[in-house]
Structure 1
Amino acid sequence: MAGPANTQFAVAVHVLTMLAGMRAAPVSSELMAGSTGSNPVYLRRVLGRLREAGLVGSRPGPRGGWHLEREPADITLGDAWRAVQEGAPVFNLHAVQPDCPVGSSIATTLTGIDERLTRSVEAELDAISLLDVFPGAAQFDPADFVAGGTLRS
């Protein structure tokens, strides 16, 4: 599978799960960046895709931050996958030379496999909600986290 999309997916699931457990107050992107170990710019790019998909929203200002737009039970890992994949193939195919019979055959075969894999991956991920990832949806307060994004002892 494509490297960057997989990293974005894992980060997306992490922040969605974190937001599911911190519904009492908006969560800062800095706190989420620390928790995921991600560069804040990279994290905001992932959050932007999740916002475009209607999964998260944000409120500006000193008391602002990020929140879920839907209940955790109504957000699936498939929703997160589609948000960060943006229709990209599971396989990254190389450019095929038009006069190469091997390349043409491989591209046709791999494209078909990719389409079937995408349907299978999405079906599997659609069956898993944030509540499945984070059983009991234990509630955390942002104050419970230290600056690096980990829970206080």
Structure 2
Amino acid sequence: MGLSSRSAVAIHALTMLGRSGVHSLTSAEIADSLASNPVLVRRVLGSLRDAGLVWSTEGRGGGWSLARAPREITLYDAYTAVEAGPVLARHAHPPSDACPVGRHMQDLLEAEFRDAEQAMEERLGRTTIAHLVRQVLDREREVAESKR
């Protein structure tokens, strides 16, 4: 299975929640920022909740909040909460053993793909939601200053 947009939605939602601080946000508010459907956002938030990254309260004034500090949530945490399987798709069925390329390709690709996925995991593990919140705030400050 290849990487879906669920990771981007999850990281976006977590960054919004990190920026909001102690205030909870509704799935509709997060969906507005994503220009997306609240149902999709709720599904992703449900996976994040199952992973212990967010929690929700029901009723008037309810919504979603981070379950941990933004500095304690990495992009890799978000990725693993919403994605299943490897990022890079493998052969759907074994190639031909009669072919000199086919008989070796699965093993060769497996090693390359595994190394690439490990590099991605390590990179995502170095970036926290707090880091993205700081970048958003910095960019907003730059935009405000450029309008003066």
Bigger relative contact order, structure 1 or 2 (CA pairs below 8 A, ≥6 apart)? 1
Aligned equivalents of 2:102, 2:38: Cα separation in 1: 40
TM-score by length of 1: 0.78
| SS of match in other structure, 2:11 | helix
Contact 2:2 2:87 in 1 (8 A): yes
| Cα deviation 1:25-49 (Å, max 9, x = unaligned) | 2110011011112222221121111
Q: Give, in angstroms, the shift of residue 61 of structure 1.
A: 0.9
Shift of 1:105: 2.9
- Runs of 4+ aligned structure 1 residues displaced above 6 Å come to none
Match of 1:90 in 2: 87
Structure 1 residue 132: Cα displacement: 1.2
How far off is 1:3 after superposition?
4.6
Give the superposition deviation at 1:58.
Answer: 0.6
Q: Alignment length, in residue pairs?
A: 134
Answer whether contact 2:48 2:54 (CA < 8 A) is retained. Answer: yes
Shift of residue 97 of structure 1? 4.1
Structure 1 stretch displaced more, 61-70 or 31-40: 31-40
Q: What CA distance in whole angstroms lies between the structure 2 residues aligned with 1:80 and 1:117?
A: 18
Structure 1 counterpart of 2:72: 74
1:122 counterpart letter in structure 2: E
**CA displacement 1:92-124 (0-9 Å, x = unmatched):** 2242146x1254532222222222122111111
On the 8 A contact 1:96/1:107 being kept in 2, the answer is no
Q: Distance in 2 between matches of 1:112 and 1:94?
A: 13
Instruction: Give the whole-Å Cα distance in 2 for the aligned partners of 1:64 and 1:133.
Output: 25
CA distance in 2, matches of 1:27, 1:82: 22
Counterparts in 2 of 1:111 and 1:17: CA distance versus 1, 3 Å: same
Instruction: Identify if the C-alpha distance between structure 1 residues 109 and 134 changes in structure 2 by more than 3 Å, giving closer, same or farther.
Output: same
| Partner Cα separation in structure 2 for residue 103 and residue 52 of structure 1 | 41
Match of 1:144 in 2: none
State TM-score, norm by structure 2. 0.80
CA distance change for structure 1 residues 111 and 21 in 2, over 3 Å: closer, same or farther?
same
* Structure-to-structure mapping, 1:1-153, within 5 angstroms: 2-4=2-4, 7-86=5-84, 88-97=85-94, 100-101=96-97, 102-135=101-134
**What is the RMSD of the two structures over their aligned residues, measured on CA atoms?**
2.1
- The CA distance in 2 between the partners of 1:35 and 1:103, in whole Å, is 46
